Amino acid sequence: MDDSQRILSLTGWMQMSARDRFLDTNVLLYLLSADQKKADRAESEVAIGGVISVQVLNEFASVARRKLRMAYADIREVLFAVRANCSVVPVTEETHDLGLQIADRHGLAVHDSMIVASALLAGCTRLLSEDLHDGQDIEGRLTIRNPFR
């Protein structure tokens, strides 16, 4: 399946109840990967569903536009399909405050700690990310899992 077929096929996925899973931006970006194995895995993870934050949407759009040089219409199309399968949570002052506490406690970069804070506030127990440490426990409530291992 080529990239355009994969993007179009996203819109046909059925959203499943997966509120305990939070997907990091890198999972979504692998939908566009030339690495077929990772692209297929990302497609499977998004198909299962989960939770993302507005930060994830923004980071995806930024990387897709700046690094991948995608047209905004194509970015919107991919994100429309992702949003059909994933619940989107806002980034709030509470997210910001918790994110700074997590950055301080766990030594994470601020943007990563905001993702973790969003996952915790959404009640997720798993954060799917390639960028963080697989198996790491955060606050005794959230476990980082690398779906590409």
Residue 134: CATH number of its domain: 3.40.50.1010
SS3 label, residue 39: helix
Q: How many domains does the chain have?
A: 1
CA distance 61 to 130: 18
Q: Is 17 exposed, middle or buried (0-12, 13-18, 19+ CB in 10 A)?
A: exposed
List all residues 6 or more positions away from 132 whose beta carbon is below 8 Å from its beta carbon.
24, 108, 112, 116, 144, 146
pLDDT band of residue 146 (cuts 50, 70, 90) is very high
pTM of the full structure:
0.86
Give the number of other Cβ atoms within 10 Å of residue 123's Cβ.
13
SS3 label, residue 55: helix
| pLDDT of res. 19 | 80
Supply the DSSP symbol for 87.
E
Q: Which domain holds residue 135?
A: 3-145
CB 115 within 8 A of CB 128: no
pLDDT digits (tens, 9 = 90+) for 118-133: 999 999 999 999 999 9
CA distance 61 to 101: 27
pLDDT digits (tens, 9 = 90+) for 60-88: 999 999 999 999 999 999 999 999 999 99
